[in-house]
Amino acid sequence: MNPYILLMILSQFIASFSQILLKKSSEKEYPNRIREYLNVLVIVGYGMMFISLFLTMIAYKGFENFAAVPVLESMGYIIVMLLSRIFFKESITARKGLGIALIIGGIIVYSMV
């Protein structure tokens, strides 16, 4: 397997986890606006987003055909949904399940072509 594909998948995991941290921070009450934006969860979350961006830029160097990039990035939707289930106990509704099934189906169809 192409190591750049693995790097892109790692980047998606990091970006997805950073979104979970940012959502976790938004659920808390803060005494003022400064503390709302300058707290550990927000700083780490945006730091992880920056790392994800950097890894994605490196991964792009290994792609001759950029048509695969949206397919790999769509995995982020799946990862965020699963992490939301784990950390926030969000339910996976039939509509979410259908959406995830369509994404996975699209990934499978693309990989077969």
pLDDT for 112: 83
Question: Count of domains in the chain?
Answer: 1
For residue 113, pLDDT over 90 is answered with: no
pLDDT for 65: 78
- pLDDT tens digit string along 5-41? 899 999 999 999 999 999 999 999 999 989 988 999 9
- pLDDT tens digit string along 47-100? 999 999 999 999 999 888 788 788 888 999 999 999 999 999 999 999 999 999
pLDDT band, residue 101 (cuts 50/70/90): very high
Per-residue CA distances from 57 to 53, 54, 62, 72, 76 (Å)? 6, 5, 10, 14, 16
pLDDT for 78: 93
Per-residue CA distances from 14 to 11, 17, 18, 104, 112 (Å)? 5, 5, 6, 20, 27
Q: Residue 79 and residue 54: Cα distance in Å, rounded?
A: 19
Which residues constitute the domain of residue 26? Answer: 3-112
